[in-house]
Chain A
Amino acid sequence: MEQLFDVSLFASTIRMITPILLAALGGAICARVGLFNVGLEGLVLIGAFSAVVGNHFTGNVWMGVLFAIFCSMLFSGLLAYLSINLRANVIVVGIALNFLAAGLTTFALRALFNVKGAFFDKDMVGLPKWEIPFLKDIPVVGNVLDGILSGHSPLVYLSFVLVIGLQFFMFKTVTGFRLLAAGENPTAARSLGIKVTSIQYGAILLCGVFCGLAGAQLSLGNVTMFTENMTAGRGFIALVATMLGQSNPIGVAGSSLLFGFMEALSVRLQGFSLPTHFTSMVPYVVTILAMIVFKDKSYLQEARKANESSR
């Protein structure tokens, strides 16, 4: 048991959840304005790829992150335009976006770097690892905390700040309330003079920013390379984390932690050649059970009504 649960398990949990958490926060904002964003996977993939591109061509890791944010925002803008202005079904557009992202990134990988499968450059520098000072000096638990919390990329710490910031923004600021109102009852919100369309646009673009950060963490934080389809379903896991967390930033953080922990545990179990299938399954089963307990909130009902028919 002690071999199974040690400091490095929790440290790798934190590393693993960050992309999921960031994308899930983006998904939560979209869900709150009544748009169910299935395109998270594609947005994160675009972010991961453009982060590497930006880093490679500017030689600066932060320019890479900025470029990732920019590209993901561009794509989320496409999603917003098609689903808000052109009233295309947001789920259909999301699915198409995932395809487009997968195709475009592999295509651009070939067109820009003339490689297939993966791009790796030994001179490319990833995101720095930050050590938290003074953490080691805390008595008794200091070393454990340091082992878990120190030595991650700045984006990891940023993601935790964003959770709290978003929670504050949604439930304590006027703009946040307007955002919630726009999702819960667009007609009523509009009658009060809230600009629902611009709020929806803002939410989707913000989601793009989050997904860009998630992608950058994936391709510059966890590793320093881009591989074809490197999101490997993380966008969909983020979608599930959004649902499990009831689109509540803190809840989303909790459910992302569960997913990350189970993923890290699965990796660990693999080392002991034990079946990992059931540990990997736990988060999904928990989500289904949780959905029975927490009934659909009204904003989701709205989202569902809008998406029930394929036409």
Chain B
Amino acid sequence: MDKVKQAMRSLLQPLLAIIVGLIVGAIAIAVVGGDIIETYKEMWKGAFGSTFFLTNTLSRATPIILIGLGVALAFRAGFFNMGSEGQMVLGALSAAVAALYIPGPAWMKLIAALIAAIISGGIWSALAGWLDAKFRMNLLITTLLLNYIAVLFAGYFVAYPLKDKTGSAAMAQTAMIDKSVWLPKLFSGMSLHAGFVLALVGMLLLFFYMKYTVRGFETRMLGANPLFASYGGVERGKLMLISMFVSGGFAGLAGAVEVLGTQYRYIEGSLTTPGYAWSGIMATLLAGSHPIGTAAAAILIAALQTGGMGMERNTEVPLEVSEIIQAALILFVSARFTYTFIKRRKKARG
């Protein structure tokens, strides 16, 4: 009974957040003189209205889920990994390079590309962890800094040595990856690709890792109470490196599935412009770092974005309403910390 109650309570908060977000969105819609119900209907249609829109939403959610999972793991361990963007970009670049230049059959190229992405994203992330463990440098800042370096680094490669010179357009991008190496589409004619399945597998793996393994328990302990964790014999440095590596690996994988499933080449700015990294962080915050919740929140955020596009196509209301809803969600969720804080204080007094 208690368990059900607890589950209900953890669901109540995000639901409340969504309601508040929708109310704020309704105000914004009313301000520009739109019909609130009609607009939300269009938004729903744009996100889930047909198989096409649904698969479109899910394919947009794929990198967001993967990034969110990575960030969730780092958050659970108590580290603010803000470097998903750089890790994702490096993962995408290495996936493209591996898929283009590694010899062998197509399936081997595909697997090599995925592994290369996980490793490069992971190492980039673990570097920040190492700097923290070794030099006590603030992880939040180093991950932010490493973002810029990674994005510029990848930008250099596609602008000069790896640039696709076959096309007439002077875009900074790699050559097109061979069709046999592409991640297969789940339904023909739809944009949803096998990367979504990978994301779901990643979600389940992370869920079981956090819940049922010793290392997962140690990770949660380190985040919840670092002193207690070290008293219990948890090695902070080692665990930090591992969690950051896995966290970055998820982000790298996110970049890889975008390249192998949607773009088929690394295009400069194709991953940073849609703001996948920030959306992923937002999903994690919304779900309080719970793996399954993070995936659900990522789909919600993707739905807000694709729904917003649908809304803009069919009504006079601008796309940015969905951005305002997203921000309101996060602000509400950040105030949730407060709610628990007040409750704790009341308990302590009483």
Contact surface of A with B, Cβ cutoff 8 Å = 36, 82, 86-89, 91-93, 95-100, 102-104, 106-107, 110-111, 116, 236, 239-240, 243, 275, 277-278, 280-281, 284-285, 287-288, 291-292, 295-296, 300, 304, 307-311
Q: Judging by beta carbons under 8 Å apart, are B138 and A87 in contact?
A: no
A280 to B145, CA, bound (A): 12
Count chain A CB atoms within 10 A of each CB in B78, B136, B324, B331 and give the residue with the most: B331
Q: Judging by beta carbons under 8 Å apart, are B80 and A288 in contact?
A: no
Q: Judging by beta carbons under 8 Å apart, are A86 and B335 in contact?
A: yes
Q: Which of B147-155, B208-216, B242-250 contacts A (4 or more CB under 8 A)?
A: B147-155
Contacts of A93 in B (CB 8 A): 331, 334
Q: Judging by beta carbons under 8 Å apart, are B318 and A106 in contact?
A: yes
B316 to chain A: closest residue by CB: A110
Contacts of A296 in B (CB 8 A): 136-138
Q: Judging by beta carbons under 8 Å apart, are B137 and A311 in contact?
A: no
Q: Judging by beta carbons under 8 Å apart, are A107 and B320 in contact?
A: yes
Q: Judging by beta carbons under 8 Å apart, are B140 and A107 in contact?
A: no
Q: Judging by beta carbons under 8 Å apart, are A95 and B326 in contact?
A: no
Q: Judging by beta carbons under 8 Å apart, are A280 and B152 in contact?
A: yes
A281 to B156, CA, bound (A): 11
Contact surface of B with A, Cβ cutoff 8 Å = 28, 31-32, 75-76, 78-80, 131, 135-138, 140-142, 144-146, 148-149, 152-153, 155-156, 159-160, 223-224, 226, 278, 281-282, 285, 288-289, 318-324, 326-328, 330-331, 333-335, 337-338, 341
Count chain A CB atoms within 10 A of each CB in B142, B160, B327, B328 and give the residue with the most: B327
A93 to chain B: closest residue by CB: B334
Q: Judging by beta carbons under 8 Å apart, are B159 and A103 in contact?
A: no
Q: Judging by beta carbons under 8 Å apart, are A107 and B334 in contact?
A: no
Q: Which of the residues B160, B278, B319, B341 comes within 8 Å of A95, measured between beta carbons?
A: B278
Count chain A CB atoms within 10 A of each CB in B142, B144, B334 and give the residue with the most: B334
Q: Judging by beta carbons under 8 Å apart, are A95 and B223 in contact?
A: no
Q: Judging by beta carbons under 8 Å apart, are B159 and A107 in contact?
A: no
Q: Judging by beta carbons under 8 Å apart, are A100 and B328 in contact?
A: yes
Q: Judging by beta carbons under 8 Å apart, are A99 and B153 in contact?
A: no
Q: Which of the residues A89, A95, A98, A103 comes within 8 Å of B320, measured between beta carbons?
A: A103
Q: Judging by beta carbons under 8 Å apart, are A239 and B324 in contact?
A: no
Interface pairs A-B: 9 shortest CB-CB? A103-B323, A100-B327, A96-B330, A277-B156, A107-B320, A310-B75, A99-B327, A86-B338, A88-B334
Contacts of A310 in B (CB 8 A): 75-76, 78, 80, 223, 285, 289
Given contacts A89-B334, A91-B80, A98-B278, 17 further A-B contacts (CB under 8 A): A86-B337, A95-B282, A96-B330, A99-B327, A110-B32, A110-B318, A110-B320, A111-B32, A240-B144, A281-B148, A288-B137, A288-B145, A291-B141, A307-B80, A309-B223, A311-B224, A311-B337
B135 to chain A: closest residue by CB: A292
Q: Which of the residues A89, A104, A116 comes within 8 Å of B337, measured between beta carbons?
A: A89
